[in-house]
Amino acid sequence: MKKGRGGRPGLIGFRKPCEAARKTCFGKRLDHPPKDSYSSSYVRQAASLLWMKEALVANNLFVSYDLHKPDKNYEAVIKAIKEQGGWAKVQFSLFYLTTTKTAEQVCEAVWAAMDSNDSLIVVDTTNNKAVWQNLTPEVSKYIRDNWNSR
């Protein structure tokens, strides 16, 4: 095994993340994990790279909604969906998103633009999760009972 500085095992080609990548991710400031929570600089650097990898990985989400009468505010809901990340309109009320946000975060943001009688489901295909609002109890139970979460 290749030895790093001080005789410790090291990684071949291990480099600190570049300053530009560390500063921003999709236009947002990134802060490293607290340095005092790690015992050595080697562990700190490895943890920092793992943290950055997680911050840079986009989630694949599908967002589907139904707007019910009396107030159908399609513009506000579509705007809320498009603000969550990269998007493609798959069908009339189904969007595909690539975003660093979680399904829970997207569901909360989109639900804020909807009425209490509307329904919404966000499916995270990257992490095999689903979050929803105002689905019928039967549908909610069926999803919970049959979801193959690993």
What is the structure's pLDDT at 70?
79
pLDDT less than 70: residues of the chain: 1-56, 149-150
Cα separation, 33 vs 57, in Å, equals 17
At 69 the pLDDT is 78
Alpha helices in the chain (DSSP H): 19-23, 41-56, 74-82, 103-111, 137-146
Is the same domain home to 24 and 95?
Answer: no
CA atoms within 13 A on the CB side of 146: 6
Q: What is the pLDDT of residue 77?
A: 97
Round to whole Å and give the CA distance between 88 and 13.
Answer: 37
Predicted local confidence at residue 149, as pLDDT: 58
84 domain residue, yes or no: yes
Residue 96: strand pairing partners: 62, 88
pLDDT at 2: 44
Residue 1 lies in a domain: no
Asked if residue 6 is part of any domain, the answer here is no
Q: Which domain holds residue 107?
A: 59-146
51 and 77 housed in the same domain: no
The answer to whether residue 22 sits within a structural domain is yes
- CA atoms within 13 Å, Cβ hemisphere of 36: 0
User: What is the pLDDT, as a whole number, of residue 83?
Assistant: 97
**Number of compact structural domains in the chain:** 2
Answer yes or no: do 72 and 101 share one domain.
Answer: yes
First to last CA, the chain: 34
Same domain, 68 and 141: yes
